[in-house]
Chains A and B, each alone.
Chain A
Amino acid sequence: MGVYETQGFKLDNTGKRVVVDPVCRIEGHMRVEVNLDSNNVIRNAVSTGTMWRGLEVILKGRDPRDAWAFVERICGVCTGTHALTSVRAVEDALSIKIPDNANIIRNLMQLNLYIHDHLVHFYHLHALDWVDVVSALKADPKATSTLAQSISSWPLSSPGYFRDIQNRLKKFVESGQLGPFMNGYWGNPAYKLPPEANLMAVAHYLEALDFQKEIVKVHTIFGGKNPHPNWLVGGVPCAINLEGTGAVGAINMERLNLVKSIIDRCTEFVEQVYIPDLLAIGSFYKGWLYGGGISSKNLLSYGDIPNIANDYSTNSLLLPRGAIIDGKLDEIHPVDLRDPEQVQEFVAHSWYKYPDESKGLHPFDGVTEPNFVLGPNTKGSKTNIQELDEGAKYSWIKAPRWRGHAMEVGPLARMVMGYLQPKQFPEIHGLVDGALKKLDVPVTALFSTLGRTAARGLETAYCVKLQREQFDKLMTNLKNGDLNTANIEKWEPATWPKEARGVGFTEAPRGALGHWVTIKDTKIDNYQCVVPTTWNGGPRDHKGQIGAFEASLMDTPVAKADEPLEILRTLHSFDPCLACSTHVMSPDGQEMTSVKVR
């Protein structure tokens, strides 16, 4: 490949190659290769999806009303979001309208998933990219208490409390069993927090671990069961009977009160723990503003949380929808998922075959024909690739583009979109603005790894508020006697047209998610998913344009080439489906995530 320029980046793959390979599968695994120059700055980045995703084809011929149950199994983290996207796609195809209560309950489940996912991501999948656990052992519990009390009124903040946490941690470390803290690059100079901030973060790691389990009870209540809640084309599969009693059957007042109390506790935890922690950690890292990639130029959001049932237009969506291109922040383009010119997937560098690979295909016309060939500069073999040849095909992920542009999706896209429209989204604007002021950084600081992580936290605070509003709406309906949760008018396939197609979209916690379905003779004829990690983690296109992951690593200095902390920190900031895959261990407790410097 040599040297070339694209999207304002100069790619150069002549330097030392570092391979970071999580080496595992199921949810769509990823490997990254970078080239470092003589100062250990990343000058080329190659992101590859190492797993064939064949969901589209296994749905062929199935009953479209069952598709949600399959898509719920694609991924271990986005289960509910995929299911919701699927039922929306089928409803769109068959023109099925859902009752207001069903829309509200879906919103509550989706918001609940956001809050859970963002919280777990911050504390359990991402925090250790910023927090040095071993350094926490050196902290003074009294000073930690002072720090904690200076940023929040959260009651668990006494010196004794932090001393206990430190002792527990010490015991864990001394037993040689670091557990979830196993694969850190402890002591790496890229860690910037003082020991006290590290200890406070470890304490909140443990508290969040305990708290997160309360949040998901909302899914059990509305979805009938967890971890794989039930969904229904035409509404939600839960009946409501306010006077009902007992544990089995309809939603009653007792359960609704439980939902209410969970919402209250989410509010407390997010306001008093998550946001103060985020700002505290941010204040130590605000000088490290790498990792922005293409976020300052191209952002995309499909939007979500329709405030009006069955209205999926921009004005109804409480999470903003739109596209920003070429860094023109004063122009938000409308997004239409049906328009064949907008969302297209390219395969010039993907292991698939198109008749003409200089052209993209809209998902309705999507083709998924594998073509696993390696370029001439690949090192290793098909079964043991040591170094990819990014000049040729190099990923199982397709490269989606919006009107030909590589786009970043996710919380940062959503929060920037909201921030830029203060009239429509005053709460988002206020949250973002408040954080920028508190950290005393300009708007451009958002376009960074830290900005992405901050956007996720601010979005959680926004979702907590939306959750409360949606709950109040539900209660108003119920009190007015509207208990309807499903529309089964078109349940029977005999009522369907011979052929129909539809699009369902959501914003998954990690970004824009779309399902395109074609139904023929009452069965699924074609099903295409374009998932957020495809947008962010996809490979180059026929023009050589790089995607969000690759761009985000460019020009970042790495403190130690054999400890790719900065690489993991930036990739994890996208909350990719592979976040947890960097913790893989062998039977002897050794790390499996391999880092190879060549």
Chain B
Amino acid sequence: MSEIGWIVLAAAAMTYLTRAGGHLVLSRFRRIHPRVEAGLNAVPAAVFTTLVAPAAMNATPAEALALVVAALLGLRGGMFPVFLGGGLVLIAGRYLLG
């Protein structure tokens, strides 16, 4: 196999290790400390914020507007409205604002 192939397989093994590893470490403990529990409960808010942060930081006005609309629609729940609303505002905004 090519060098690229081997690197890809190593990357795949590494990725699986991260996905299995957290559980393998945590399952060695018989009970979960409340602080660990609180930390785990914060994971969605923490991670999804960091995934949005660079895009929000470097957003053009049209993109910023789309993110705000998506967030407001997200208050009501349901991913389809978020998508449709955010996407339409983005397309219109880029067309009008450049």
A and B found bound together: no
> A residues touching B (Cβ–Cβ < 8 Å)?
none
